[in-house]
Amino acid sequence: MAIKVLIVDDSGFFRHRIEEILREDKRIEVVGSAVNGKEAVEKARTLKPDVITMDVEMPQLNGIDAVRIIMRECPTNVLMLSSLTHEGARITLEAMDAGAADYLPKDIRAWMDKSQGIRQQLIERILALGASRRFRSGSVFDHRHPSSRASGSSTMVFRPESTTVSRTASAREATPAARRRPLTAGLAEREPVRTATSPALRPRTTGEEKDPPTSHPSKVRFPDCRIVVIGTSTGGPAALQRILTQIPANFPYPILLVQHMPKTFTQVFAERLNQQCQISVKEAEDGDRLKPGLALLAPGGLQMMIDPRQADRVRVLEGDVKLTYKPSVDVTYASAARAYGARVLALILTGMGADGCDGARLLKREGATIWAQNRISCTIYGMPQAVVNAGLADEVLDLEDIGPLLAQQRRRG
């Protein structure tokens, strides 16, 4: 059954170009178009699309307000189109806060180009969002949020009452770990590794088998870790906001965050999280020191890794040009495996593709602990599924349980 798409844009060029690209794929059906937010809301109600592509700046009703209404009245996966400017990043994050699932840059030069770049990105995102269970029966808006619609907001993003919080994080530095073997062999290796011991988490052999059961938070044993590393992509901004806003300022470990985003977006996203969270959040810079209660976000277009010579600092580098993702979860995971070994708690959250799976193998080989987000609370169950299917996840957790589990932790030793 084809994925139904509604195109919303006040630009005739963009409406035509998006439709032209989508009609090339038989798995996708364009069911309509709208020229402003008001029309978008009306057509979302009547056409019931699986995915909506949404412009930001439009007459009568802008894209952000349209998303808010759609999420309240007829929740649908929305793909925002916005510029890669600082202001475009801010607006896009507001739209994602309102409930949008993902975004694409609105660079007219790229969209006029007949090459495969933007075409592939658009189709991949539409197919992934169309296959998502996010708004189906039993989705995140049904299974853990009975009051969400009653309160007038169906988005799962947590909004603190105040955007200004005092910073009381400890200034203690993370304890450097012993040196381990170089990273160079890491990401390409496929040697057998020790997998999670729970029968529910053993590798699956076919795509027909059921997902492993979600771990009950009361049964989860927090590892003896010294650092938390979180990797995510599509749906990640909302997931990270949900988790990080529940962590207290005196959280005893440093946190590394890898979110697939362009450069301008990571800077704005880090500033936004820093305003919303009790812990401190900043975009990582080369040489930044790891500190308890500080989350460092990998800059877009670069790679972030723990310094192999000083395990209490990060390096921010260009990295291998052959790597698909910049930043890459695999790269940061691999560096954590080398620097901290078994003392790592790695989280893999919602996102397309399998970035993080190779790095998770290296972490597992060192005895680290890996938590994966469960399918039902993911926007896109790609990256966590790859880790779970490989038998590398120690726990499969609902998004709602991750923040409270982290918040309960106290430093050991």
Q: How far apart are CA 358 and CA 193, in angstroms?
A: 11
Name the burial class of residue 304, with classes exposed (0-12), middle (13-18) and buried (19+) by CB atoms within 10 angstroms of its CB.
buried
How many angstroms separate the CA atoms of 333 and 357, rounded?
Answer: 9
Q: Which DSSP string do the residues of 14-41 spell out, in sequence order?
A: HHHHHHHHHTT-TTEEEEEEESSHHHHH
Neighbours of 159 (CB within 10 A): 11
297: number of Cβ within 10 Å: 26
Q: Given the residues 260, 312, 335, 358, select the one marked as catalytic.
A: 260
Catalytic residue among 33, 82, 233, 280: 233
233 catalytic per annotation? yes
Question: Which residue in 346, 401, 399, 400 sits closest to 373, CA to CA?
Answer: 399
Q: Which residue has the tokens 């709602």?
A: 400
Tell me how far apart the alpha carbons of residues 99 and 342 are, in angstroms, rounded to a whole number.
36
Catalytic residue, from 50, 355, 398, 401: name it.
355
81: β partners = 55, 104
The yes-or-no answer on residue 216 being catalytic is no
DSSP structure class, residue 182: -
For residue 168, which phi and psi values (nearest 5 degrees)?
Answer: -125, 20
Q: 328 Cβ partners below 8 Å, 6+ apart? A: 258, 303, 319, 355
- Structure-token pair, residue 235: 């749906």
**Residues with catalytic roles:** 233, 260, 355
